[in-house]
Structure 1
């Protein structure tokens, strides 16, 4: 099964274009634009974005204690940076402070250029890893966006702006859902189910992630039905992938957890974290850039007999209340200052929906037969090396190596709940 990830966060994300080649049907199309030069903000961003990721994770985990948690920190950070681009006064300050940026230390212009460089780098075509972002803005038809805003988001962020009649809720919902379904080639259907009357602005961001494991699993080794413990009283049956391979891993005594790194074939890695039974909350509370850096130093390569569930995970949030609790209040209020988007009064953010979907299987993204030749004598090696079985709630991170960004962060409570 391929690894696909589509994310939708209904506030617009950053996307700067670069000289690159994109596939369009049977032809190749060249897009041109300018990649900003690296600046001081760019080098701070991995740490600031990671702190924001863990802060948001804590909120979402507290709000959904018995559910899967899954989202894209780097995309949400980029989305909020984009939102700040069209905002002013305290609206802008609150957005950036929630993200972890201090305008005294990082000027707005420098921050925007840093995010443009980050997203350009992430979107640059790679042979065996695809990470692409696209955006759309749906604004009430009574509002007239500034021509400069339309030009900027089109040329710098590849964002389309649509005038929408939100008085017809059913038609507006269908318009947005149809756009998302078309842009994702049918991967996401019916994104919005309960759009309310009197929406003012909805912005859409989608991310497509595809990658192949550096060491694909053998389909023939997958156990079709294996126990996964959801809690003390609930067990579900899941396909369990099995592999004997060398991985970077360690068993942490301080936090009572096992950490294992699974590399993709190019520029990305997945970090699986398995707390000892009863220690999940302890590990969650300790998650930080400092902890991540410590784990990175502790990882050592060695043979492991690995069992990982083959599963799909998805999560949908309206982040509005969460972001407001974190301090981003004005963007959702009547006093919102989006003077960089329109001269009309009354523009505010109505929704901040976010959806992430991930499928993890044997090959990563490529559905192909993996040759059986060269497989080591499992009985001999397994008797000498540790067995790591992800058969209860675990944490999952997907990181991009070049930018040191946390692409996705989550907790798998029940791999049967999509």
Structure 2
């Protein structure tokens, strides 16, 4: 999101409740119905597409991070990743608070690691205050962590996330679409390819429709068809577009039995606004913790390989106070306090998507010069005055069973009952909750959001 106006960035919840029978409230009532399939959870992150435009010139012709999950890295790399995870988590929660304040009552969902890596990548071409503002906004203390260590840290992070895995699909990367016949500094293209595993494509932006098609086809392919038509209304004086993507798809380590899914349960968006949703159900051992200080319940659910989900269910009326206190130390504290126990769990099936113009958010977080004529991106080009014009982040999340569209459904009416009937602590996500998806090896928050209205796809 550099010195020329940047085109866009596009990228592509849950919580817990109180203990045992005491967690059953008047809000936890009837559910019904059955679905015949296995459940998996999929996240489709669109990207950060950053477009640079010229101004005044024309172109010449957690630690968790999961109990018992050891990080297999050398001490040096482990130390760097630990510092990275702390900074990235604090940035994630700061950005989350900004997004929620501007989207009151709406679902919030984004990929912190995608936004962080894209901005860090752009900082390679930034200089002076522009570079400092970007890195400090990302949560890095430049007196404690040098620029080179930051970029090496992102390199280790992206490389680790992209390691092949048969049980979990996780792929992240960057692509630069650069104005044809424009000279970009060799050091910049070399560094982004080496450190951020980026591809570079020469693009004729004067042919707007062809450029849009080229970028959108790339995005569609990398997200396996989940994100289409990412780039629209491209301007012919675009200098460069950075596209950052992440694709994640995984199955629960302990799947839900589709025969236990209940339809038409009440989800309380507020005291007076109730919608009907399907609830998946199971009674299994999971790590969880009732936080009496932050007034919430925290539940960890593992995916089949190297990833986990954290659901956080605030007590009634405690969402705002919880959001205000979230930081990297919160995750570390929860990690130490989570205990394994039998949980009688109800989780709504849901699909949420969100799109944000981060160029209206990031200046309020400290990245100010990059979006003005004061921007210094001379590390990208010495011949053009660049500034960021637009940063669009788009994301999609789906949690639910597969293959239910063609399944026969049998209606069953039931009520939630106390743990004395169904053994285990009762946790029912039947009001707004937070969700985080974390990578165990790197301690990175891949996705972060708030489910205010769980819509089924």
TM-score (norm. length: structure 2): 0.77
Greater displacement, 248-257 / 132-141: 132-141
Q: What does residue 94 of structure 1 align with?
A: 133
Q: What does residue 233 of structure 1 align with?
A: 272
Q: What does residue 354 of structure 1 align with?
A: 393
Q: Specify whether residues 62 and 162 from structure 1 end up closer, same or farther in structure 2 by C-alpha distance, changes over 3 A only.
A: same
Q: What does residue 16 of structure 1 align with?
A: none
Q: What does residue 259 of structure 1 align with?
A: 298
Q: Deviations over 1:114-141 (max 9, x none)?
A: 1111111121122312221122223444
Is the contact made by 1:213 and 1:363 (CA closer than 8 Å) also made in structure 2? no
> Pairwise CA RMSD of aligned residues?
2.6
1:6 aligns with 2:44: yes
Q: What does residue 35 of structure 2 align with?
A: none
Is the contact made by 2:269 and 2:275 (CA closer than 8 Å) also made in structure 1? yes
Q: Specify whether residues 248 and 2 from structure 1 end up closer, same or farther in structure 2 by C-alpha distance, changes over 3 A only.
A: closer
TM alignment of 1:359-370, pairs within 5 A: 359-362=398-401
Q: Deviations over 1:96-131 (max 9, x none)?
A: 010111222211112111111111112112231222
Is the contact made by 2:176 and 2:240 (CA closer than 8 Å) also made in structure 1? yes
Q: What does residue 124 of structure 2 align with?
A: 85
Q: What does residue 161 of structure 2 align with?
A: 122
Q: Which runs of 5+ in 1 are unaligned?
A: 13-34, 365-377
Q: In structure 2, what is the Cα distance between the partners aligned to 1:194 and 1:150?
A: 26
- SS, match of residue 388 in structure 2: coil
Q: Which runs of 5+ in 2 are unaligned?
A: 1-38, 52-73, 404-416
Is the contact made by 2:267 and 2:430 (CA closer than 8 Å) also made in structure 1? yes
Q: 1:46 aligns with which of 50, 73, 85?
A: 85
Q: In structure 1, what is the Cα distance between the partners aligned to 2:264 and 2:77?
A: 49
Q: In structure 1, what is the Cα distance between the partners aligned to 2:199 and 2:420?
A: 55
1:113 aligns with 2:152: yes
Q: In structure 2, what is the Cα distance between the partners aligned to 1:83 and 1:54?
A: 21
Greater displacement, 41-50 / 153-162: 153-162
C-alpha displacement of 1:147: 3.0
Is the contact made by 1:70 and 1:313 (CA closer than 8 Å) also made in structure 2? yes
Is the contact made by 2:40 and 2:255 (CA closer than 8 Å) also made in structure 1? no
Is the contact made by 2:205 and 2:237 (CA closer than 8 Å) also made in structure 1? yes
Q: What does residue 257 of structure 2 align with?
A: 218
Q: In structure 1, what is the Cα distance between the partners aligned to 2:362 and 2:128?
A: 18
Return the structure number with greater relative CO, CA threshold 8 A, min gap 6: 2
C-alpha displacement of 1:52: 0.8
Q: In structure 2, what is the Cα distance between the partners aligned to 1:314 and 1:172?
A: 25
Q: Specify whether residues 325 and 142 from structure 1 end up closer, same or farther in structure 2 by C-alpha distance, changes over 3 A only.
A: farther
Q: In structure 2, what is the Cα distance between the partners aligned to 1:111 and 1:379?
A: 50
Is the contact made by 1:202 and 1:351 (CA closer than 8 Å) also made in structure 2? no
- SS, match of residue 46 in structure 1: helix
- SS, match of residue 240 in structure 1: strand
Q: What does residue 308 of structure 1 align with?
A: 347
C-alpha displacement of 1:82: 0.9
- SS, match of residue 57 in structure 1: helix
Q: What does residue 144 of structure 1 align with?
A: 183
Is the contact made by 1:134 and 1:205 (CA closer than 8 Å) also made in structure 2? yes
Q: In structure 1, what is the Cα distance between the partners aligned to 2:421 and 2:435?
A: 25
Greater displacement, 129-138 / 186-195: 186-195
Is the contact made by 2:350 and 2:456 (CA closer than 8 Å) also made in structure 1? no
TM alignment of 1:265-284, pairs within 5 A: 265-284=304-323
C-alpha displacement of 1:224: 2.7
Is the contact made by 1:260 and 1:271 (CA closer than 8 Å) also made in structure 2? yes
Q: In structure 1, what is the Cα distance between the partners aligned to 2:385 and 2:456?
A: 40
C-alpha displacement of 1:152: 3.3
Greater displacement, 62-71 / 350-359: 350-359
Is the contact made by 2:168 and 2:251 (CA closer than 8 Å) also made in structure 1? yes
